[in-house]
Chains A and B, each alone.
Chain A
Amino acid sequence: MPSYADEDRKIEQLHPHFYSVIIPTYNERLNIALICYLLFKHMKDYKFEVIVVDDASPDGTQDTVKKLQGIYGEDRILLRPRAAKLGLGTAYVHGLKYASGDYVVIMDADLSHHPKYLPSFIRKQLETNADIVTGTRYVKGGGVHGWDLRRKLTSRGANVLAHTLLWPRVSDLTGSFRLYRKDVLQEVVQTCVSKGYVFQMELIVRATRMGCRIEEVPITFVDRVYGTSKLGGTEIVQYLKGLLWLFFTT
């Protein structure tokens, strides 16, 4: 019977990289447990760690994470909380400080990003030696669930606008399910100043301008099952402002 060491060595040879999965959370007590279970299920062939950056959730997210550490080990799930709700961009910077992998995965905690797609991100990266692999909902094999007509129109309209103005080389600018080479992410994230949806777009546009090699894989996006997501007038105005900001600065 092969020992664990043999197994480890086999994994080492097949998959030479170490992946740090950074998940920012705020009130995701249930979702963070589900996502960890699915990560360990679908990523069992890869070396990886999960870094949960929790912004002082009042719902006990951190207690759940501690219980998960009890099951999976404190070296596999790292809890790196912050004292207050400080936003997404800085959450990545914070998580990056503790990442020991040479590659970093960033995904949402709300289960709209399913860990089952990660092996396809990794395969794509190995095949193409890309700096960034980004998940896209807009190509064959991708898709969404749980969006009404208005949301779909807004999303596609935003996409047409962004493509007309910015000429990015990726089809899905606002998706945030991505795999990065760590040093690339560290460099790009320094130059980004926006928040929310615009942050994701800024990151990928600036990376394009820096000459990074970016590849895409199709993902499906199931709108959050537990809790609510919002896309209102203020988000749209912010997006348009962000678009203009990038038009003039990149």
Chain B
Amino acid sequence: MKQVWKIGTIFTAVVGIWISLLLTPGLPPSLQLIVPYFPMYALASLGCYGLGALGYGMMVFRVCPEEADLLQKDITEAKTFFKEHGVDLSSD
């Protein structure tokens, strides 16, 4: 099933449940008060999830300057090797 249909199906199901809640007679008044605002809650939650995931991703994103140093060593080693084998690598 294509991704768009998967997400579309979930979306439709959720909207369906919401509409049926809206139309249900005899809900307690406290619920009746908040049900119309569910889409806003959903939107806000999605935004929070996005920001949270981004923040968490940034937090655990490792920087590795030591890898750059190691690479420099490898480059020096390789250049020495090629010099010995007569390959000119000097960049003009």
Q: Provide the residues of chain A in CB contact with B7, threshold 8 Å.
A: 165, 247
Q: Is the interface of B mostly helix, strand, loop or mixed?
A: helix
Q: Provide the residues of chain A in CB contact with B71, threshold 8 Å.
A: 111, 114, 222, 225
Known: A111-B75, A164-B53. 4 other contacts (CB 8 A): A37-B78, A114-B67, A146-B68, A250-B2
A30 touches B2 (CB 8 A): no
- The one of A37, A144, A165, A247 in contact with B82, judged by C-beta atoms closer than 8 angstroms, is A37
Q: Which residue of B lies closest to A163 (CB)?
A: B53
Q: List 11 A-B contacts (CB under 8 A).
A: A34-B74, A64-B89, A111-B75, A114-B74, A138-B57, A145-B64, A156-B54, A160-B54, A166-B3, A248-B2, A250-B2
A87 within 8 A of B: no
A34 touches B78 (CB 8 A): yes
- The one of B4, B54, B74 in contact with A247, judged by C-beta atoms closer than 8 angstroms, is B4
**Size band of the interface chain A makes with B:** 35 or more
Residues in chain B within 8 A of chain A (CB atoms): 2-4, 6-7, 49-50, 53-54, 57-58, 60-65, 67-68, 71-72, 74-75, 77-79, 81-82, 85, 87, 89, 91
Least CB distance from B43 to A in Å reads 14
Interface centre among A33, A165, A248 (most CB of B within 10 A): A33
Q: Which residue of B lies closest to A209 (CB)?
A: B3
- The one of A34, A220, A248 in contact with B75, judged by C-beta atoms closer than 8 angstroms, is A34
Q: Assuming A34-B74, A34-B75, A164-B50, is B67 touching A143 (CB within 8 A)?
A: yes
Least CB distance from B53 to A in Å reads 5
Q: Provide the residues of chain B in CB contact with A163, threshold 8 Å.
A: 53
Q: Assuming A114-B71, A157-B54, is B89 touching A30 (CB within 8 A)?
A: yes
Q: What per-residue 1/0 map shows which CB atoms of A148-172 lie under 8 Å from chain B?
A: 0000110011011001111100000
B3 touches A160 (CB 8 A): no
